[in-house]
């Protein structure tokens, strides 16, 4: 496997591996080592079937169905419950309207977040595979939260050192107009995280912020939310951002413990299809 850095701080393109076939232990180790360092790996030209993607993803560990766990067995275009449909395509082949619940979920993916930070344990890695990409917009951006932590002024590092935040699955969706049921809310109770975490893969500290954070445990709601927004604004300065321009057949893997990500706006009357495991 060869690696080519894509950004001064993190993210690399990996080549020389065929992900459609079983990946040997040595290569898996090389991927994990590269993930510990770069946190985002881009593989281009990997036209995987759903089965092939699930097989590759499974070699990292148990797969999490994410928010699909709220409504198990719901209509899907996929064979596997663990394949997450990051598309605006309905099971009948049409496109979702802007007010559809699925579209709210897709728009929520355009807010900076770490997948499933509202669960403990949360997902270590996510991977997205591009099947149909729009002509304009629809990129995915990543921020290295380790670099963001390092760049904080010393007094702010001290101020947040012992604070905690609460992350809730529906927080960003409710903000975008979704109305989850009591049963859905009860299935995913909020979780608490330190605001500063250590990334197990690199030993570096991480500024643990994102759209699933509802408030800071030790502060009044308003004061805590404003601090969370300030920290997110700090973390998402352009120098910390890698923007991925999708090509069909790309597979991007990221470490949710070290980066946050967001999709960018596109014309939702055109199809955009990615598959996540």
Residues that bind ligand OGA (CB under 6 A): 86, 109, 115, 126, 128, 140, 261, 263, 274, 276
Q: Output the smallest distance, CB 131 to ligand OGA, in A.
A: 12
Residue 276 interface partner, choices ligand OGA, Mn ion, none, CB cut-off 5-8 Å depending on type:
ligand OGA
The answer to whether 173 touches 181, Cβ cutoff 8 Å, is no
Q: Output the smallest distance, CB 259 to Mn ion, in A.
A: 10
Q: Output the smallest distance, CB 141 to Mn ion, in A.
A: 11
Judged by CB, which is closer to ligand OGA: 128, or 160? 128
Judged by CB, which is closer to ligand OGA: 199, or 276? 276
The answer to whether 199 touches 38, Cβ cutoff 8 Å, is no
The answer to whether 127 touches 274, Cβ cutoff 8 Å, is no
Judged by CB, which is closer to Mn ion: 231, or 274? 274
CB-neighbour burial class of residue 155 (10 A; exposed 0-12, middle 13-18, buried 19+) = exposed
Strands 164-167 and 191-194, how do they pair?
antiparallel
Judged by CB, which is closer to ligand OGA: 107, or 193? 107
Bridge-partner residues for 192, per DSSP? 166
Judged by CB, which is closer to ligand OGA: 129, or 146? 129
Regarding 141 and contact with Mn ion (CB under 5 A), the answer is no
Residue 263 interface partner, choices ligand OGA, Mn ion, none, CB cut-off 5-8 Å depending on type:
ligand OGA
Judged by CB, which is closer to ligand OGA: 240, or 246? 246
Q: Output the smallest distance, CB 37 to ligand OGA, in A.
A: 22
Strands 40-43 and 164-167, how do they pair?
unpaired
Pattern 93-122, Mn ion, x by CB under 5 A: ----------------------x-------
Residue 146 interface partner, choices ligand OGA, Mn ion, none, CB cut-off 5-8 Å depending on type:
none
Q: Output the smallest distance, CB 158 to Mn ion, in A.
A: 31
The answer to whether 12 touches 3, Cβ cutoff 8 Å, is yes
Instruction: State the residues that interact with Mn ion by CB under 5 A.
Output: 115
């Amino acid at each position: 496997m060869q690696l080519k850095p894509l950004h001064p701080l993190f993210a690399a393109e990996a080549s020389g591996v065929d992900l459609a076939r079983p990946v040997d232990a040595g290569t898996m180790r090389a991927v994990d080592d590269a993930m510990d360092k770069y946190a985002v790996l881009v593989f281009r030209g990997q036209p995987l079937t759903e089965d092939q993607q699930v097989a590759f993803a499974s070699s990292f560990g148990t797969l999490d169905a994410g928010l699909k766990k709220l409504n198990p067995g719901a209509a899907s275009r996929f064979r596997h419950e663990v394949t997450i449909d990051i598309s605006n395509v309905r099971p009948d082949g049409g496109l979702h309207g802007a007010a559809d619940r699925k579209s709210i979920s897709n728009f929520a993916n355009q807010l900076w977040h770490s997948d499933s930070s509202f669960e403990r344990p949360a997902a270590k890695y996510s991977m997205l595979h591009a099947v149909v990409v729009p002509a304009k917009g629809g990129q995915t951006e990543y921020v290295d939260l380790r670099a963001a932590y390092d760049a904080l002024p010393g007094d702010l590092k001290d101020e947040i050192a012992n604070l905690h935040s609460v992350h809730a699955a529906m927080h960003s969706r409710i903000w975008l107009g979704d109305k989850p049921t009591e049963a859905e809310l009860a299935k995913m109770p909020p979780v608490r995280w330190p605001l500063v975490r250590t990334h197990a893969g690199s030993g570096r500290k991480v500024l643990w912020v994102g759209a699933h954070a509802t408030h800071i445990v030790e502060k009044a709601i308003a004061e805590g939310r404003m601090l969370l927004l300030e920290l997110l604004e700090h973390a998402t300065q352009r120098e910390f951002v890698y923007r991925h321009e999708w090509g069909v057949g790309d597979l991007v893997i990221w470490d949710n413990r070290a980066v946050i990500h967001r999709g960018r706006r596109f014309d939702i009357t055109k199809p955009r299809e990615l598959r996540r495991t």
